[in-house]
């Protein structure tokens, strides 16, 4: 049970970093900001569908959080690059 709460807490902290990085990119605007906005919306829809399907097939909340953390880490790495 501790692992679930740890992962949920880490997801919230990691997501805040990605939100910050995305807001900076969106604030700059232009083609890159527009592309990021499209990507963000598309990713959110697919991530929600993936989570729903996982739960529908008997997956646990922990597995859903693990999937979200994987995506958040990937976005953090991508957005941190120059």
Q: What is the rounded CA–CA span in Å between residue 65 and residue 80?
A: 22
Q: What is the pLDDT of residue 25?
A: 95
Q: What is the rounded CA–CA span in Å between residue 43 and residue 65?
A: 15
DSSP state at residue 26 = H
pLDDT digits (tens, 9 = 90+) for 11-44: 999 999 999 999 999 999 999 999 999 999 999 9
Where do the structural domains in the chain lie, given as residue ranges? 11-80
Q: What is the rounded CA–CA span in Å between residue 18 and residue 34?
A: 16
Tokens 């996982």 label which residue?
54
Its pTM stands at: 0.85
Given a cut of 80, whether residue 46 has pLDDT beyond it is yes
Helices 2-28 and 30-56 sit at what angle, rounded to 10 degrees?
160
């Amino acid at each position: 049970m501790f692992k679930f709460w740890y992962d949920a807490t880490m997801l919230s902290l990691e997501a805040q970093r990605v939100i910050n990085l995305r807001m900076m990119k969106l604030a700059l605007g232009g083609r890159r900001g527009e592309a990021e906005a499209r990507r963000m919306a598309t990713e959110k829809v697919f991530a929600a569908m993936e989570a729903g399907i996982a739960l529908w097939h008997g997956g646990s909340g922990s597995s859903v959080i693990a999937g979200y953390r994987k995506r958040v880490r990937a976005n953090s790495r991508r957005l941190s690059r120059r």
